[in-house]
Amino acid sequence: MAKRNALYAQSGGVTPVINATAAAVIEAARAHPDRIGSVYAARDGILGALEERLIDTSSLSADDLAALSHTPGGVFGSCRYKLKGLDDNRREYERLVEVLKAHDIGYFFYNGGNDSADTALKISEMARKLDVPLQCIAVPKTIDNDLAVTDNCPGFGSVAKYVAVSILEASLDVMSMASSSTKVFILEVMGRHAGWIAAAGGLACRAAGDPPQVILFPEVPFDEKAFCSRVRESVETNGYCSVVVSEGLRNAAGEFLADAGTTDAFGHKQLGGVAPVVAELVRRELGYKYHWAVSDYLQRSARHVASATDVEHAGAVGRMAVALALNGGSGVMPVIRRTADDPYAWTIESAPLEEIANKEKKMPEDFISEDGFGITPACRRYLEPLIRGEDYPPYGDDGLPRYLRPNFVYLDRKLPDFSV
């Protein structure tokens, strides 16, 4: 095969370890100078590719890549933009082909979740239909852990660790004050349809009575009376109650409790905050003093408490993505296959994007306790290996992590301006 350049891009909500995947892709591509020329990165995902805002990653040294691997956020910029089908918006695909040809790009690595897998699938199908020489590989990441086929998603393990640690630490605070002050603490976590992140909070509960005493999953319709009864029981037994609630909590009619009435670029409902809704119920029905918090961006950017297992996963899928492309793969994604729980063992395989794009993996029924407020031993066996190990970033003399903030070198544009 002729030597071609490679293009990497990040898409969707970022994770604590997506840059570790980026560094792995770049390092793996550089290891094959006979097959891959320059490695470029699109600024702001597929939008940067369409608008020809391309970064030359050759300006990143080996030390920069090491720093990149422990830097949170998406250093190349991400986006939420959904490509329509080839027949619905041929103009964008023709523009993408022009950019690929102008910069001799033969490998495209798109690092994202469900909707990004759909974009990668559409691009790979476009390349096949239009006879464009391109190996298009989707690279997994999502904190929601809802990608089909793969055992878990890079990014989830670190968020799970953050949530478990956070509810444990906050609960110790509440326990200290419960006799005369706050008796209920509510932590809202991400998860629109799947309760994986909320379930991770359950790892803090290692013995009867431990927090969180209540977990509210999107998969379990919210029952106000049962919830209030459980909170009252915990306060009377333990002196306090800690609650982890998924942003996607729904009522019996299937409606989000926190529907903000708007949608994002992918058509997903925007959720306006369920924690205060639940807190108001506690105040109105039980009269307990409460505090609530929304973990929001904190949970998906907390690289300082990343899971070592998660970081290892993130690098492995990046390296496998390059290997798949060099072996002629396209329209596929590297996925994690678990081979054992204890000791935890796993390998990386390939899966077709048709089995992943626009599909959603929710919590299995046997992972949620019979009362709907906790996790089962089976869920704990699944989750625990994913948060094991620490991978702390280096700290500077000022006491802060040393995160990478590079001054990128952009390629000269060869094409006319384009706007989506």
Characterize the bridge pairing of strands 259-263 and 269-271. antiparallel
**Nearest-angstrom CA–CA distance, 271 and 268:** 9
Q: Round the CA-based radius of gyration of the chain to a whole number and report it.
A: 22
Residue 244 contacts residue 375 (beta carbons within 8 Å): no
Q: Nearest 5°: phi and psi at 293? A: -145, 150
- On whether the CB atoms of residues 52 and 9 are closer than 8 A, the answer is no
Whose CA is closest to 83, among 53, 111, 54, 50?
50
Q: Characterize the bridge pairing of strands 184-189 and 344-352.
A: unpaired
397 catalytic? Reply is no
Contact status, residue 76 vs residue 43, Cβ threshold 8 Å: yes
Residues ≥6 apart with Cβ < 8 Å to 98: 415
110: CB partners within 8 A, 6+ apart:
9, 11, 45, 46, 116, 119, 120, 123, 136, 137, 138, 139
Strands across the sheet containing 36-42 = 54-56, 36-42, 4-10, 105-112, 135-140, 332-341, 344-352
Tokens of 152: 């878990």
User: Active site residue: 44, 115, 118, 144, which one?
Assistant: 144
Cβ-proximal residues to 199 (8 Å cutoff; 6+ apart), any chain: 215, 217, 363, 367, 368, 375, 379, 383
Distances (CA, A) of 179 to 75, 175, 186: 46, 8, 18
* Enzyme catalytic residues: 144
